[in-house]
Amino acid sequence: MSQNLIVKPRPGHGPAPNLVDYQAARTTFSWSRAAEGLDGRVAGRLNMAHEAVDRHAAGARRDHLALRWLPRAGEPQDYSYGQLQELTDRFATLLAELGVAKGEVVAVLLGRVPALYVAALGTLKHGAVLCPLYAAFGPQPLCTRLSLGGARVLVTNAALYRRKLADHRSRLPGLRHVLLADEDDAASPLPATAALWSLLRQADPVPAQVTTGAEDIALLHYTSGTTGMPKGAMHAHAAVLVQQVSARLALDIHPEDVFWCTADPGWVTGTSYGIMAPLTLGATLLCDEAEFEPVRWLSTLRGERVNVWYTSPTAVRMMMRLAAELPARAPFPDLRFIASVGEPLNPEAVHWSQKAFGLPIHDNWWQTETGAIMIANFAALPIKPGSMGLPLPGVEASLLRRGPHRSVTPVTQADVEGELAIRASCPSLFRGYLGEPERYAECFADGWYLTGDIARRDADGYFWFLGRADDVILSSGHLIGPFEVESALLEHPAVGEAGAIGVPDALATERVKAFVTLKSGWQAGEALRQELLAHARRRLGAVVAPKEVEFRVELPKTRSGKIVRRLLKAWELGLPEGDLSGVMVDPAASLTEDPPRHE
């Protein structure tokens, strides 16, 4: 084994890990046996919200704390499984009263507030499809997703609605109901909206009349591709099985645990682990309305007695900056397991965590399309800092090389790179991209789902992430499609062409940088740069918009006129240019037209 290995002593406190003997678990694991941990399969039905809430509310855990909500300021609010059942029943009733049919899309655009959990779980109970949206998106990505998904209902709040969607409502003819989840219902209702909490108080808390099966679509998660519009990955209720198994084995959640997932609810982690998985195990979910704030987070970990904490590398790296200022090592007596996801976690962060918390961070890997954790560093196994870990029992992972006519050949040697692939039989894999069967089919070959991530596997079987096979930008744990960024820039009258790439960033892994050429009559300069940055931020939101814009005389293009982002990236990072056949490189393309900058 490699020298760079963290071998863990047996934990001095808390229960033993759920997974102790990894090899034995891999050998004996079967999904059909694992499904016995679910309730709904008995009657041939399966519903994520039933597994997360109703089964516990019907049994001994009815009064167990399901959700503790920490508002930005003020006292925490607690919801038992029984209370969560009542509220989600009301929401499902409300959808029925609004005429929402099974399989129709309900979009949720909220931060971490109680209405998020009620709407998400109530939507699933009603058999409608939940589409979580990211509140930091600007109007353009939001409208695109609402319109592609054909959303019938949007649950949001007055501030977000006013700022991002009210002016664009005419672009969304299919959106019939906008429900505003503000605590103060009476406060000046906006036109064409309704007050969620008033409606919920009037709706009957009776069990939903709709039944769902394992293959009915439950979730619609948008993710970004290299070209074209965002892709709507659809997940079936069957994914709940892998959500539960992975939460037990990879996150080591026990039923008596307090679990804190810091992911934004607009992304897949915020749904799979920020809502569903821990509830299916009957654990307590902690949610904090506040945005990332290192000092608050440390006191939450301690004060709320968090046992299992699932966070992101960007957050960890920002907390590392605090380390020097912390008075002394703060004790976290209840914390037992820390995991991280979204982008590769650098080894320094794993070592820092050992000093700061007395525990290493367990990196794991999955993506929107896989629906649940696929590869992880496990509680009972040594950690290789910087590695994604080993496949979850029941998950077969491989490295493949693509050949002609959709053929693939396995990479069998250790430490040789290939495209990471997951055996297509894994129950949580997505069931399609909404309205794009061909794009979906292109992801599969020879019984494998090809992830678009390039990795290597070492002699011990640990996987190591190397990069994306395409031009998608990985920033703060989110995939950003360069096409969406470029489209927004092209809407500015000055911009002739645009190319967006990810450049390395110490905190966010990558940040978006855009290269633009200007139409005639426009002059490159600091004022225009600021104007373009502002234009992009207003349309796309802070997380998607470029952080840098550089002016170019020309951009490198293929003969058919497509911008070659990989070349922009190679020039930017001083990397080899690679195969240039088919690329038209005007000598001017690598020349900057940037005037000198003054900070």
The minimum distance between CB 545 and another protein, in angstroms, equals 8
State which residue, 196 or 320, has the beta carbon closest to another protein.
320
Residue whose C-alpha is closest to residue 195's, from 230, 165, 232, 158? 158
Q: Considering beta carbons, is residue 293 or 460 the nearer one to another protein?
A: 293
Rg (CA), the chain: 24
Cβ nearer to another protein, comparing 38 with 136: 136
For 533-558, give the DSSP string.
Answer: HHHHHHHH-TTTS-SEEEEBS---EE
* Binding-site ranges for another protein (CB under 8 A): 136, 138, 159, 291-296, 314-315, 318, 321-322, 325, 476, 505, 507-508, 511, 530-531, 533-535, 537-538, 541-543, 547, 599
Q: How far is the CB of 533 from another protein (least distance, A)?
A: 5
- Which of 194, 290 has the CB closer to another protein? 290
Tokens 């129950």 sit at which residue? 427
The least distance separating another protein from the CB of residue 547, rounded to whole angstroms, comes to 8
Q: How far is the CB of 207 from another protein (least distance, A)?
A: 38
Task: Look at residues 40, 207, 233 and name the one whose alpha carbon lies nearest to residue 125.
Answer: 207
142 or 445, CB closer to another protein? 142
Between the alpha carbon of residue 424 and those of residues 40, 247, 396, the distances in Å are 23, 20, 9
Burial 381-416 (b: 16+ CB within 10 A, else e): bebbbbbbbbbbbbbbbbbbeeeeeeebeebeeeee
CB 313 to another protein: min, Å: 12
Which residue, 482 or 541, is less far from another protein as judged by CB? 541
Instruction: Decide whether 234 or 543 has the Cβ nearer to another protein.
Output: 543
State in angstroms the smallest separation of the CB of 325 from another protein.
5
**At closest approach, how far in Å is the CB of 187 from another protein?**
15
Closer to another protein by Cβ: residue 232 or 541: 541
Which C-beta is closer to another protein: that of 164 or that of 177? 164
**Contact assessment for residue 247 and residue 428, using Cβ atoms and an 8 Å cutoff:** no
CA nearest to 283, candidates 262, 255, 305: 255
Measured CA to CA, the distance from residue 18 to residue 21 in angstroms comes to 9
Residue 328 burial by Cβ neighbours in a 10 Å radius (0-12, 13-18, 19+): exposed
Distance between CA atoms of residues 20 and 260, nearest Å:
23
The maximal CA–CA distance of the chain, rounded, in angstroms, is 73
Q: How far is the CB of 328 from another protein (least distance, A)?
A: 14
CB of 543 to another protein, least distance (A): 5
Tell me how far, at minimum, the Cβ of 452 lies from another protein, in Å.
24
Q: Which residues, including other chains, have CB under 8 Å from residue 381's CB and lie 6 or more apart?
A: 22, 389, 390
Could you tell me which of 302, 327, 382 has the C-alpha nearest to residue 350? 382
Question: What DSSP designation does 561 have?
Answer: S
CB closer to another protein out of 111 and 418: 111
CA distance 312 to 340: 5
